[in-house]
């Protein structure tokens, strides 16, 4: 405890003292900074103190925390240290890397994780052909909140949508060709991704060798992608997406993915979980619009074909209420475990709306930006809403204040969250 407190205090002092010497009007120019370098390395320190307001009437509080006497207001702090960059290993080879250390403290528990998001060697064979080996992150898809076609990568975190994601170890190649005519550009990306114990073990449930590919086409002014995945353990998927500008300030996009054998879960009336495998379709459709006030709007509809039905959620609520009413300790432990494994995740159910509005130079202030985004569960009408204001007036710093609130009735996804509200301050320093 003392060790982590000292680390937190040291980080706070460093950020505050270095911020005091920063200036928003520093326009100095260093010629040597633009000279070619063999090693390019960057660092980021991120401090996120916050407060969570626990919902003591929620099922999750009664299942796991009621006997511990936690007060409703809880401090929570996250610290992150990241390093990322590249190393020119040879005439046509480059090593790219991205690592992250995270320390999180909540409910008197401290957890630290070290993740190597990326570490891969790129070979530029010629202007059109590229190959690579190592741990790489794919970010396929056109959606802002969710990407069902991202077969070779992980899904974004809605609470930090720009956070770097951990990749997978693979061997890949990419071929680009410029053409004349309506089809003016194509790119074919292919990768072999093994999954076994100790290597990409969370990519599939069984040991497998997986082939994934993306074929990109620029058709006129429309971006189109086709996706394919085939695995030795039967993990077969196909998908497609597109993005098109209807005007200079209005864009539409969509994604569609089908998996032939996907494990899905349902919850019975007694609260037990049943798994089955069948074909599932997931899709997303959305639009982005920039108005005359420089406000950008994003609206997306998401359908998760593998998500839970409303009846599954109601079965879970009823079974949990019975376990609490009868003080059945075994059933309570199982209910808490089921919630963590199947319900407490992004887009756990089937149909959602995602909406975001963002504006630069908020209130006419050059360095202040604002945003609001909301995720609505269309089945139970519950929703999670976040308001954030950021300040970028100090060189290499970003300060962000965020407020998140979960709203809904007790028998809804967001209405029964353990934390009803959360306030967070983020201080990011890049160097």
Over the stretch 127-156, which tens digit does the pLDDT of each residue have? Answer: 999 999 999 999 999 999 999 999 999 999
Beta carbons within 10 angstroms of residue 227's beta carbon: 25
Q: What is the 3-state secondary structure (H, E, C) of 16-84?
A: HHHHHCCCCCCCCCCHHHHCCCCEEEEEEEEEEEEEEEECCCCHHHHHHCHHHCCCCEEEEEEEEEEEE
Q: What's the CA gap between 310 and 308, in Å, rounded?
A: 7
Tell me what pLDDT residue 230 has. Answer: 95
Tell me what pLDDT residue 291 has. Answer: 96
Cα–Cα distances in angstroms (integers) from residue 283 to residues 118, 230, 277, in the given order = 28, 19, 19
Is beta strand 39-54 parallel, antiparallel or unpaired with respect to 419-430?
A: antiparallel
Over the stretch 309-368, which tens digit does the pLDDT of each residue have? Answer: 999 999 999 999 999 999 999 999 999 999 988 899 999 999 999 999 999 999 989 999
Q: What's the CA gap between 153 and 113, in Å, rounded?
A: 20
Q: Using alpha carbons only, how large is the chain's radius of gyration in Å?
A: 24
DSSP character at residue 343: I
Mean pLDDT of successive 10-residue stretches along the chain, which has 431 residues: 41 43 47 70 95 88 80 86 92 93 86 93 94 96 96 91 91 94 93 94 90 96 96 91 96 96 86 88 98 96 95 94 92 91 92 97 93 97 97 96 95 92 95 92
Q: Which pTM does this prediction carry?
A: 0.87
What structural domains does the chain harbor?
Answer: 2-18+43-430 (2.40.160)
Tell me what pLDDT residue 276 has. Answer: 86
Tell me what pLDDT residue 176 has. Answer: 96
User: Among positive and negative, which fits the CA dihedral 265, 267, 271, 275?
Assistant: negative
């Amino acid at each position: 405890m003392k060790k982590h407190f000292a680390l937190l205090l040291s980080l706070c002092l460093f950020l505050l003292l270095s911020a005091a010497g920063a200036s928003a009007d520093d326009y100095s120019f260093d010629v040597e900074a633009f000279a070619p370098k063999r090693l390019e390395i960057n660092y980021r320190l991120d401090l996120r103190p916050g407060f969570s307001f626990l919902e003591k009437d929620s099922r999750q509080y009664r299942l796991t925390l009621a006997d511990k006497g936690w007060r409703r207001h809880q401090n929570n702090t996250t610290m992150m240290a990241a390093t990322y960059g590249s190393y020119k290993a040879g005439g046509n080879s480059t090593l790219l890397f991205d690592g992250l250390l995270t320390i999180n403290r909540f409910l008197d528990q401290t957890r630290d994780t070290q993740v190597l998001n990326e570490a891969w060697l790129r070979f530029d064979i010629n202007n059109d052909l590229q190959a690579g080996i190592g741990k790489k992150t794919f970010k396929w898809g056109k959606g802002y909140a969710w990407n069902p076609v991202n077969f070779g990568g992980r899904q974004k975190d809605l609470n930090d949508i720009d956070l770097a994601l951990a990749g997978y170890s693979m061997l890949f190649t990419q071929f680009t060709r410029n053409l004349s005519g309506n089809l003016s550009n194509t790119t074919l990306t292919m990768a072999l991704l093994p999954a076994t114990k100790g290597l990409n073990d969370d990519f599939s449930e069984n040991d497998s060798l997986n082939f994934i590919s993306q074929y990109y086409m620029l058709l006129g002014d429309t971006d189109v992608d086709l996706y394919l995945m085939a695995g030795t353990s039967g993990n077969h998927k196909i998908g497609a997406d597109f993005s098109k500008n209807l005007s200079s300030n209005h864009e539409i996009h969509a994604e569609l993915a089908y998996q032939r054998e996907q494990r899905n879960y349902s919850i019975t009336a007694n609260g037990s979980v049943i798994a089955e495998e069948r074909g599932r379709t997931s899709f997303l459709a959305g639009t982005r619009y920039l108005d005359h006030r420089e406000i950008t709007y994003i609206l997306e509809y998401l359908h998760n074909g593998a998500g839970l039905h409303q009846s599954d959620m109601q079965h879970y609520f009823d079974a949990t209420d019975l376990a609490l009413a009868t003080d059945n300790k075994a059933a309570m432990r199982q209910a808490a475990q089921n919630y963590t494994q199947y319900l407490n995740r992004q887009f756990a159910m089937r149909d959602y709306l995602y909406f975001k509005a963002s504006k630069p130079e908020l209130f006419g202030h050059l360095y202040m930006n604002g945003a609001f985004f909301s995720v609505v569960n269309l089945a139970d009408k519950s929703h999670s809403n976040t308001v954030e204001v950021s300040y970028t007036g100090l060189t290499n710093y970003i300060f962000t204040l965020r407020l998140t609130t979960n709203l809904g009735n007790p028998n809804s996804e967001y209405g029964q969250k353990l934390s009803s509200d959360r306030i967070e301050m983020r201080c990011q320093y890049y160097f």
